Amino acid sequence: MSASEDKQPAVQAPAQEDPAPQRVPGTAQSPATAGATATGAAEQGPVAEAAPAPGSGPDSTAPESVDETAIQPTPAPGEPASGEPVPGEPVPGEPASGQPAPDLPTAAAAKDSGAARVFRARHLVAACAGAALLAGVIGGVLGSWSSGADVPLSPWSAGSGGTSGPLAAGPVPQVAGEALRSTVTIEASCPGVRIVGTGFFFDSSGHILTNAHVVEPGGHAGKLTVAFSDGSTFRASVVGVAKGYDIAVVKLDGKHRTPAPLPLGNSDQAVIGQPVVAAGAPFDLAGTVTSGIISALHRPVTTRNGTASAYLSALQTDAPINPGNSGGPLLDDAGRVIGVNSAIDSATSPGAGPAGSVGVGFAIPINQAKWVADSLVDHGRAQYAQLGFKVNGAYTGRGVQIGPDPRTDGGPSVIPDGPAGRAGLKPGDVIDRLDGLDIDNGPALISAVWSHRPHDRVEVEYLRDGRTHTVMVVLGARSGSS
C-alpha cells in the first residue's frame, strides 16, 4: 500500500519478495524512496536498526534490496490556520439558508495527473490523486501479515420497520449523505506537481485529518486548497505531519465556520466481513462514495513518499478506493469513521499510469490515526514506538533476528538499557510474534510496533537456541523530525 513517510527506522527490515501495497495514486507523478530501522521513530525509522534481510509480506521492503512496484500518492493540504467561527457566515459544504439542500453534494474536481508509487512485490496505488510515491520497506520492524480472527459477516441493518424501499438494502444513502457534509477535497501543488486527495473534519476545532502524502506530494510541502461539497474553496495550512504514520492535520486559513466533525468509531472492534463506506474524490470525482466490507485486519503495509516511508498495520477493504481517495474516511454502517484510506493494491504494471481499484484497499485504523493527529495538534509532531535493537540483514529465515555483536560499525546490536535489553533479549534471538501477530520479516515488525503507542507493554515471542520464549517489553519512544 502506499503511505508517504520520511523515516529511517532504527532497525532495518529484511528484503521481501511478497507483494507490497501502493498508495492510491494522485494527479501528478513524483518518485519516492524510503528506508527504516527498527530502533528509530517515524521519520527516522522503525524500532530497531538492521541491515535489510529477505522477508515476506505485501508491504515490506528491505533497505538495500527492495523490490518495488509503482505507487501513486495522495495530495496533501498545507498548514491550517486557527480561527473562531464567523457569526452569520454559512458553513462551507452546506446550502445557504432558504435554499434546498442537494441530494448528493459535489465538490470542485481537480485535473487528473497520475502518480506512480513503487513497492516491493505488489503494486499499490495511493488513495490520493497526485505525486508518485515509492513504497518500500527499508525499516526493521513492521506489522505482521496476520489477517485477524475470522468472524461472521454482519449484515447491513435494514430500513426502519423492515420495510422495503431505497434504504431497505442498507444504510449507505444515509451514511453517504452525512459523511459528504464533512468530507473535503484537498489539492496540493508545488513546482511541477499537483495532486488531489481527500480529508475530513474530525474534531470540534475545525481540524481536518488526511494523509501525509496528500499534503506533501513526493515529500515536498505543497500549497493547499480545500474544496467543500458545495463547491466553495479555501486556502489551508498544515498543522503537523507524521510521515511514518502517513497522517497529517490541516486547518483552513483565517476564520471560518466549519461543518460538524464526523463521529469516530472504534477500529479495535472492526471485524472481517463488516460493511463499510468510503468517501472521497477518486480520479478527481469529488463527492463520491463506495461500499464494501472489511476483508482483513492487521495487514502490514509499507509505502514511500519521496524519501519517507510509512509502516501501517492496516484495515483491508474491498470498497473501491482509487487515486484521489487518499485521506478520506472509511465509515461503518452507523456512519462512524473507523479508518483513514491510504493505499490500494493495483494490478497495473509500474509506469503504466494511475491504476484503479482491484478490490484490495488499505486504511489506517482510526484509533491510531486519532492519537497521532491529536499529538500533531498539541505538539506539532508525533512519537514512534521502538524496541531498541539492530536487525541482522543477512538472516533469511522467518521472523526478525537481532544482529550479532559486535556490529560492523563496532556498536552493540541491542541498545544498552533499551526496551529489548531491559527485557532480556540478546543478539541472535529471532522474534516471530508480537502481541499475537505473526512476524514474518522486518517491515512486518515495524508495522506491528508502530501500531502501538510509545511506552505500551507488548508481548514478544522469540526463539533462542531452538526454544521458544515469551517476554513482556515496554516500548521506548522516539520523536519524528516532523
429 included as an active-site residue = no
DSSP state of 442: H
Catalytic residue among 18, 59, 230, 246: 246
Taking the CA atoms of residue 158, residue 314, residue 186 and residue 350 in that order, the dihedral angle to the nearest 10 degrees is -120
Q: Which of 326, 346, 375, 451 is catalytic?
A: 326
Dihedral (Cα; 232, 238, 240, 241), 10-degree rounding? 90
DSSP 168: T
User: How far are the Cα atoms of 27, 34, 60, 239, 307 from residue 353, in angstroms, in the given order?
Assistant: 10, 21, 23, 31, 21
Give the residues across from 48 on adjacent strands. Answer: 38, 389
Between CA 198 and CA 332 the distance in angstroms is: 18
The answer to whether 363 and 290 are in contact (CB under 8 A) is no
Q: In this structure, what C-alpha cell is assigned to residue 276?
A: 463499510
Can 326 be counted among the known catalytic residues?
Answer: yes
* Residue of 123, 207, 213, 452 marked active site: 213
Query: Which residues are 131's β-sheet partners?
Result: none
- Among candidates 386, 408, 461, which has minimal Cα distance to 38? 386
Is 246 catalytic? The answer is: yes
Q: How far is it, in rounded angstroms, from Cα 156 to Cα 176?
A: 14
d(CA 38, CA 314): 19
Q: Per residue, what are the HEC states of 61-98?
A: CCCCCCCCCCECCCCCCCECCCCCCCCCCCCCCCCCCC
Q: Which residues are catalytic?
A: 213, 246, 326
